[in-house]
Each structure stands twice: as structure tokens, then as C-alpha cells.
């Protein structure tokens, strides 16, 4: 069975009604959206992670700790807690903003997703918490 973890958060872009906007501006927005998509696929484990979040790639490159800074075990432990809280919030759309928590994350603690997946997911959770001023667990999100 294929597991798909999808985090779709498309920021609301303020668009003017001005019809004389140059087409280069529109192309720039399309390129930014493509640049802000992170896709990780592993066919042998049958999983896919898709993160669409404006600003995440640039934040990852400029602000996040580099790969190797945190151990895989550390990130797995945090990811388990963050996913648990995330999924609880998805199930309570009247209590939590359903535009922030759109879909549950199928993250199985007994599966070794590898370092890259845990790194991306962990950093996405940190980015999400800092950007949207959310707290997904007892820990203050840190960089």
C-alpha cells in the first residue's frame, strides 16, 4: 500500500485588480511556486512526501540547521510528536484553522524513512510553527 504524506499550504497572495500587470510578474509567481515545492519519493518503501509552501525552500537553505546537525533518532522522536499533534488538529476543524491543518500525515513510527525524509519533515514542522505562530508540542520550536 502506498503511503502518501502531503502538506499543502498555499499562501494567500494579494492580487490587485489592475489589468495592466506585466506578464513577467505572473511568470515570477509561477516559478516561485515551483521552487517552493519539495517532493521526496522512495519507491522501495512506497512513500511520497510533497510539501508546497511559499518560502519554505529559501528558509531551509538560509535558516535551517544543515543536514547532519541533528541525529535521525532526534528528528524521528520530534516528528512522531509533531505528527500526532498535527493529526489531532486535523480532526478538530472547528477548534483549529482548517486552512492550516488540511490533511492528516501518515507517518508510521516503525518505518525507517531515512535521514532525508526526517530532516525535511522536521524542518517543515519548525518552519510551520515559526511562520504561523503555532506550537505542535511541549517544545519551543528552535532553529
Q: Which residue has the higher pLDDT, 38 or 43?
A: 38
pTM beyond cutoff 0.85? no
**Tally of domains within the chain:** 1
Give the Cα separation of 76 and 96 in Å (integer).
25
47 within some domain: yes
Question: Which range has highest mean pLDDT (28-32, 39-43, 47-51, 131-135)?
Answer: 131-135
The predicted model gives 34-52 an average pLDDT of 72
Report the pLDDT value the prediction gives residue 43, as an integer from 0 to 100: 67
In a domain, 8, yes or no: yes
Considering the domain boundaries, does residue 139 fall inside one? Answer: no
Angstrom distance (rounded) from CA 81 to CA 6: 17
Confidence of residue 35 (pLDDT cuts 50, 70, 90): low
Q: Is residue 42 part of a domain?
A: yes
34 is a domain residue = yes
143 in a structural domain: no
Q: Is residue 27 part of a domain?
A: yes
Q: What is the percentage of the chain residues whose pLDDT exceeds 90?
A: 53
In a domain, 91, yes or no: yes
Amino acid at each position: 500500500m502506498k503511503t502518501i504524506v502531503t502538506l499543502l499550504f498555499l499562501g494567500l497572495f494579494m492580487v490587485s485588480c489592475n489589468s495592466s500587470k506585466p506578464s513577467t510578474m505572473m511568470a515570477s509567481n509561477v516559478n516561485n511556486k515551483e521552487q517552493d515545492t519539495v517532493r521526496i519519493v522512495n519507491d522501495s518503501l512506497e512513500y511520497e512526501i510533497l510539501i508546497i509552501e511559499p518560502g519554505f525552500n529559501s528558509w531551509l537553505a538560509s535558516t535551517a540547521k544543515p543536514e547532519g546537525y541533528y541525529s535521525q533518532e532526534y528528528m524521528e522522536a520530534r516528528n512522531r510528536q509533531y505528527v500526532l499533534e498535527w493529526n489531532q488538529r486535523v480532526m478538530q476543524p472547528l477548534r483549529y484553522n482548517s486552512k492550516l491543518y488540511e490533511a492528516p500525515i501518515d507517518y508510521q513510527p516503525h518505518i525507517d524513512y531515512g535521514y532525508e525524509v526526517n530532516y525535511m519533515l522536521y524542518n517543515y514542522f519548525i518552519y510551520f510553527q515559526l511562520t504561523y505562530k503555532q506550537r505542535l508540542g511541549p517544545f519551543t520550536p528552535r532553529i
